[in-house]
Amino acid sequence: MNIKDVSEQLDVSRETLRYWENIGLLPKVPRNSSGYRDYTENEIKWVLFIKAMRNGGMSVESLVDFVKVYREHKGSRAAQKSLVKEQYEQLVARRDAMNQTINYLKYKLDHFEDHVIPFLEEKNYYELRKKAMLEKQNQDDPEE
């Protein structure tokens, strides 16, 4: 499969595919007799993996580390698992934080009519706030 087809079918720009190959994320893509890249199933699996990890927030640097460990085969299964586990835990933490925000916003929407926004309801909100601030300042720093 040529780079154009891979780019279109996997929704990854040709420039990105070339970049991933140049920095070693993708194995060297075989070339056909005309010298054009000819992606095999192996390279396509790598593209899908890299794309999934990037979509999950893994940095290019971390992916480079993963691929390096994979290719060196030195204790690579444990190291690979550790890198994937770390990414998984980061994603779970981001998901949990996002769920908290979603729940908070849902509560705000569900109770939106119950909330009063003071500066929209009181014409002299700013004057009252200024007066309160000055009174607090005078209490904190009383004159001699």
Tell me: the pLDDT tens digits for 74-111? Answer: 667 887 788 888 889 989 999 999 999 999 999 888 88
- Cα separation, 56 vs 94, in Å, equals 10
- Cα separation, 36 vs 77, in Å, equals 33
* Model confidence, pTM: 0.64
Q: Are 61 and 47 in contact (CB under 8 A)?
A: no
Ramachandran bin of 24, using left for φ above 0, alpha for ψ from -120 to 50, beta for the remaining angles = left
